Every structure is written in C-alpha cells, then in structure tokens.
Amino acid sequence: MTRTGRRAMVRLVLVVAALGVSLVMSAGSAAAIPANVQAGLSLSPTNAAVGTAVQVSATATNLTAVTIGQVSMGVDIPTTLGYGGLVRPAHATCRATFVTNHRLVYCSVSLAPHETATLGFTVTPSAAGSFTLRAYARQTYTTNDTYATATLTVP
C-alpha cells in the first residue's frame, strides 16, 4: 500500500471511529435513567383567605425493592407565604432556609422498599394571589430529581 493509500485508510478509520462514538453517546443520552424516588405534594385547602393556615404535605416514595439510605426531599415556598408547624418524617433531619425569593424546607431520610416519608407544615398567605409550591425528591447524590407542584389561590 502506498503512503497516500495508508493516509486515506487512516482518515477513513478515524471518521468511522468518530461516527461510532457519536452514535454510542447519542444512544446513551436518549435513554432516560428511571428515578428511584417519587415526589408528591398536596395542599389543604387549595383556596384560602389571607391569614388562613394551609396544610402542606410533601412526600417521597421509594420506588425500588431495596432500602435507600439517603433520600433528599423538600419544598420551595414563595416568601409571600408565612411558614410554620414543621412535622418531620420519622428519623429525618430537616431544615428551613431562605434562598433568593423563596424559602426551602428540606429533609434527609432513609426509606425502606416502597416506603413513603411525609413532610408536613403550614403556610399562611399574607396577600391575595396565586402561589405555586414545588416539591422535589431524589436519591441523594444523583441527578434523577422528581418534582410535584401545587397551587394555592388566595382571592
């Protein structure tokens, strides 16, 4: 084989290899990795007057057949809603912290197979409007967050 022929062959091999890597990477990113934990969120009531306490219930459910030792769960709360009455899931460590324009209440908990942990608290609106709360749940140290939202309407 001539020198020019070898160069052409090397170029062809490199192009085929690059194409193969591209196909493998795109196939890998197309398949979503399922989440091991599912978030849930409910408000009671969903319509309330200014100054009325509303019960918030956020859940994280282990969707697997094995214990997950570290589950993160939490709720983003608009700052226009007062917060109080935290009820932690059993054996959980929880905190409330301020983040720009909202408050985050979050917990870390261990979940047995198919177990659900519930985080409860109250919010109290100080003004009329529509307020969206967002809950998250995930196996800690993964990027497979699941979300649930609920809207509070204050006439």
Confidence at residue 20, expressed as pLDDT on a 0 to 100 scale: 46
Each residue of 8-52: pLDDT tens digit?
555 554 444 444 444 344 444 445 567 899 999 999 999 999 999
Q: Return the percentage of the chain with pLDDT > 90, whole number.
A: 57
User: Given pLDDT bands bounded at 50, 70 and 90, which one contains residue 90?
Assistant: confident
Confidence at residue 101, expressed as pLDDT on a 0 to 100 scale: 76
Q: What are the helix and strand counts (H, E) for the chain?
A: 1, 9
pTM reported for the whole predicted model: 0.76
Confidence at residue 63, expressed as pLDDT on a 0 to 100 scale: 95
Contact 94, 105 (CB under 8 A): yes
Nearest of 43, 53, 78 to residue 152 by alpha carbon:
43
Residue 54 CB contacts under 8 Å (≥ 6 apart), including other chains: 43, 44, 45, 48, 122, 123, 124, 125, 152
Each residue of 120-152: pLDDT tens digit?
999 999 999 999 999 999 998 887 899 999 999
